[in-house]
Amino acid sequence: MDMVQAAVQRSGLEQASTAKSPEGQASDLDLLVARVVGELRQAEQKHGPLHSAHEAYAVLLEEVEEFKAEVFKRANDRDPYAMRDELVQVAAMAMRAILNLRLSDLEPKRVVPTLPKRPHFIALNFPGPIVAVLALAGFTYLEEVQDLTRDELRQIPGVTRVFATEIERMVAVMRNHRPGLRT
């Protein structure tokens, strides 16, 4: 049994694609799932598995570009069936990439701790470049980063070793000068 077939069976998509509504009709979602899974199987048979993230990106980009070509036509010239088919291919290739790159069984990301009653804004406590990097990563309050280890800080996109050290130093300074921060 190939990887796609095994994943389809584990996920229950096979049953969803054959499920019927109370009136005995397959729902739109069921038909769509069946179409995506069929496209996924067809691509796997024809081309084999994707071997790298770069290959997956290229395949997805190609499908998105084909959808874009349809979208950029004049409204009267667009073919809704072609648009649907391209989006089914995008969905199938995204699923194919997740399966082939073995990304389907990853653990959930670490959740940021909840904020205390009196938050301290990062923008008031850090130099501009660090504020920009932390803001892009979704952090607004000092309390969100104060308990992160240096390794966890380094996993934030854009945080260099120097930034991680500076963030740790600033958190220590804030703990000494701001009674609202946990120690």
The mean pLDDT value of the chain amounts to 77
When comparing pLDDT for 159 and 31, which is higher? 31
User: Which residue, among 152, 162, 155, has the nearest Cα to 130 in the 3D structure?
Assistant: 162
Q: How confident is the model at residue 113 (pLDDT cuts 50, 70, 90)?
A: low
If you average pLDDT over residues 66-91, what whole number do you get?
A: 94
How far is residue 39's CA from residue 86's CA, in Å, rounded to a whole number? Answer: 10
Place of tokens 């958190």: 171
Give me the pLDDT at residue 90, please: 95
Query: pLDDT tens digit string along 9-41?
Result: 655 555 544 555 556 666 788 888 899 999 999
Mean pLDDT check: name the lowest of 15-24, 72-81, 123-132: 15-24
How far is residue 176's CA from residue 183's CA, in Å, rounded to a whole number? Answer: 9
* Distance set, CA 165 to CA 84, 161, 178 (Å): 50, 6, 20
**Which of the 8 DSSP states describes residue 69?**
H
> How much of the chain exceeds pLDDT 70, in percent?
67
Q: Which residues of 118-140 are buried (b: 16+ CB within 10 A; e: fewer)?
A: eebebeebbeeebbebbeebebb
With 90 as the cut, is the pLDDT of residue 103 above it?
Answer: no
With 80 as the cut, is the pLDDT of residue 6 above it?
Answer: no
